[in-house]
Structure 1
Amino acid sequence: MMQYEVTKEKSAEHLRQAIHHMSMQDAAFHPVSYAVWYEYSSGEHARLIDEVNALIEKEKKLNEKSTAHVFNKHIAGIDTDHAKKLVERFSQVVTEMRSSTEKTGLQTSEYTKTLDAWSNEIQQQEPQLALQLDSLLSETLMMTNSLNHLQGKLSSSLEEVDALKNEMIKARQEALQDGLTGLMNRKSFDVALHDCLQQHIVDTSLIIADIDYFKKVNDSYGHLFGDKVIQAVASIFKTVAGNSYTAARYGCEEFVLLLPNTQLETAREIAEQIRHKVAAINIKNTITQHMISNITISLGVAAYQPGEQPEGLFSRADQALYTAKANGRNRVTLSSEALVAA
């Protein structure tokens, strides 16, 4: 991910240079073009600069295709948070530019009217001076037309920015969610766990669960049925989590539940609730039309120990889960019980 540790003044200078470069290209004003030329103007990314210079030498100007090529090759690896900030900054830049051009356009229009009035008054008295004013008036009208054209391009760019913002929001949501269940995915849960422990919430517990014999379920009933099982279990975790806890699908058939402000014994009770709810699942096999009800789950539970790292808490809960599976599955095991068993 690209990092920016420059002063506001230096950033503003990069911005001005980027806008200047953009205005000389065939690509439209949009966040992708802005990103390429901001990186180019910063002077910090030699490979991007070399590639852009080579393209300009070959093509004279960057078009949409070549701009997208540079962006995808050198910039597209940025994370969603940084991309979101990039889009927001570009939107701000375009809005400021449009406001500025509108103001300048109004001033130029008033100036044109004044010149026109002077030209009419002087026409009869000073013909030579009137010709000079006419020339100045013509150039002013050309500038006004250029400003109107720029305003149109900026308005179009703002529409593109709005569309890109919506796509970015959707992409960010998809990046944080598991596509099959709608729960958090592993990456976002790791962040949630880290943030929770950073707040030093002493009474924090963690449940790790694994659907028993899931491979056998897939082999016996097919992957589509397996997906239904995963979704049914995920629904139970989502319901139990409510607004107080954080649930995620951590692996294929593995689920986790983070319980802030929850002591170990309460976490055990919640794990037992989940176990009983899963055991009560009934899913119709669409091929045989039979109801399948032999789904069970094993769960490991651990409570946060002051000063413990996220990896330590997760490891103890995972060890408790391993013990639950080794002792016959379809059961809840605490980390303290796992230590005794070891």
Structure 2
Amino acid sequence: MSGAGHEDRERSYVIAQRANELMRDYGSSASPRAYAVWYNYVSGRQPLMNTAIKRLTTQSGSLSDGDIDDLYEAHIDGRNVEGELDRHNAGLITEVQGIMEMIDLSLGSTAQYGASLQAISKDLADTTPNRLKDIVATLIVNTCEVAASNRTLEAHMRESRREIETLRETLAAARLESLTDPLTGLSNRKHFEEMLCKEIDEGAKSHQPASLILIDIDFFKRFNDLFGHLTGDQVLRLVAVVMRETVSARATLSRFGGEEFGILLPGIGRDAARIVAEAVRTSIMGRDLVKRATGESLGKVTISLGVAQRRPDDTMVSFIERADSCLYAGKRAGRNRTIDDGELSEFSEVA
């Protein structure tokens, strides 16, 4: 066995042992799904899932079977489905583009062939020997036949091109749907992670600032249990609407799980990002939530927010974790507030 293979094997055993310990300490049962969730948590492969687990264990001290199911479907099973769809769409789009290139080449070749035949027939027609007249006539007839055939072929090709364009648009729409949260219409976890990775990569080259805002609805589970899931969905849509109304078009707005939202702000530093976060917080707090079925007032909704500015050495994981630490500092300090990573040490000392 190679040294690298041995290290991978040993690492997998260490991860498995730690996953079992966490499953025993925080879980209600040792199901295969629970093991998969905790194994992925320890391996650090999915930082957004880790953020969700930290949030749940901080709130209740454990993960219920329902929590495990939600985490598994959102971050493991859902990821596989989305990945398959993404690969399928990408492959089909590539194939379609190849076919379209061939059609373009065929159309060009046909036109060139027709032009070439016409040139030859003209040259022959200009010769004087009488015996070439029959050949010229034959060539002219053939040229006309080829031209007619070409026109038919071109018509079929253009029709095929239109059909393929429609197919490509359908596939592009399917990909967009795979990157969208169906309840709120915001970007989903997959797209959020893609944009975070892209920002980390591009930021290392451009040296432009970027900031990340993480949002959590205060006491959402209690609210959901008290008024029901339909009203809970209404709260989630409210947060999404306010985010769209408040944040610029350049930003990536995402709901990446449960009551958790994210805003990625390229080109924006900490101070400006904090202003955006506060605008979202105060706008949500200033709106009365009304139960649609009865018109009953359900009071105010509040959110807590964490703001982090990207650092030169940041990875996607460290960027998320710092914003999440700010969010939880706000939760510990009483909720309904924004904390940024410039003041995090102050709140950590208080905690």
Q: Could you say which TM-score interval applies, normalised by the shorter chain?
A: 0.5 to 0.7
Tell me the CA shift for residue 261 of structure 1. Answer: 4.2
Match of 1:11 in 2: none
Alignment of 1:218-229 (within 5 A): 218-229=224-235
TM-score by length of 1: 0.61
Q: Are the structure 2 counterparts of residues 110 and 318 from structure 1 closer, same or farther at C-alpha, using a change threshold of 3 Å?
A: same
Figure out how many residues of one structure are paired with residues of the other and give that number: 260
Match of 2:11 in 1: none
Specify which of 94, 103, 107 is matched with residue 103 of structure 2.
94
Specify which of 279, 302, 305 is matched with residue 296 of structure 1.
302
Match of 1:317 in 2: 323
Q: Are the structure 2 counterparts of residues 268 and 77 from structure 1 closer, same or farther at C-alpha, using a change threshold of 3 Å?
A: closer
Match of 1:164 in 2: 167
Q: Determine what percentage of the aligned residue pairs are the same residue.
A: 31
The more displaced of 279-288 and 142-151 is 142-151
Distance 1:272 1:139 in 2: 77
Question: Residue by residue, what CA displacement relative to the aligned partner does 1:222-271 show, whole Å, maximum 9, x if unpaired?
Answer: 33322222122112212222145332222232111223444434433432
CA contact (8 A) 1:206 1:256 kept: yes
CA contact (8 A) 2:306 2:327 kept: yes
CA contact (8 A) 1:202 1:306 kept: no
Distance 1:272 1:206 in 2: 13
TM-score by length of 2: 0.60
RMSD: 3.8
Distance 1:261 1:182 in 2: 24
Alignment of 1:145-294 (within 5 A): 147=150, 150-198=153-201, 199-200=203-204, 201=207, 203-243=209-249, 245-294=251-300
Alignment of 1:17-32 (within 5 A): none
Distance 1:229 1:215 in 2: 11
Distance 1:76 1:317 in 2: 30
Question: Residue by residue, what CA displacement relative to the aligned partner does 1:46-78 show, whole Å, maximum 9, x if unpaired?
Answer: xxxxxxxxxxxxxxxxxxxxxxxxxxxxx9763
Tell me the CA shift for residue 318 of structure 1. Answer: 1.1
Distance 2:142 2:266 in 1: 69
Q: Match of 1:185, as an amino acid?
A: N
Match of 1:308 in 2: 314
Question: Residue by residue, what CA displacement relative to the aligned partner does 1:188-232 show, whole Å, maximum 9, x if unpaired?
Answer: 222222232332446432210011222333333333322222122
CA contact (8 A) 1:205 1:260 kept: yes
CA contact (8 A) 2:211 2:308 kept: yes
**1:275 aligns to what SS in structure 2?**
helix
Distance 1:139 1:243 in 2: 59
Q: Match of 1:252, as an amino acid?
A: G
Distance 2:350 2:316 in 1: 23
Q: Match of 2:241, as an amino acid?
A: S
Q: Are the structure 2 counterparts of residues 254 and 104 from structure 1 closer, same or farther at C-alpha, using a change threshold of 3 Å?
A: same
Match of 1:331 in 2: 337
Distance 2:276 2:86 in 1: 40
Specify every segment of 5 or more residues in structure 1 that has no aligned partner in the other structure, as ranges: 1-74, 116-120
Distance 2:85 2:220 in 1: 37
CA contact (8 A) 2:86 2:175 kept: no
Q: Match of 2:229, as an amino acid?
A: H
Q: Are the structure 2 counterparts of residues 106 and 222 from structure 1 closer, same or farther at C-alpha, using a change threshold of 3 Å?
A: farther
CA contact (8 A) 2:121 2:139 kept: no
Tell me the CA shift for residue 139 of structure 1. Answer: 8.9
Distance 1:165 1:85 in 2: 9
Q: Match of 1:153, as an amino acid?
A: H
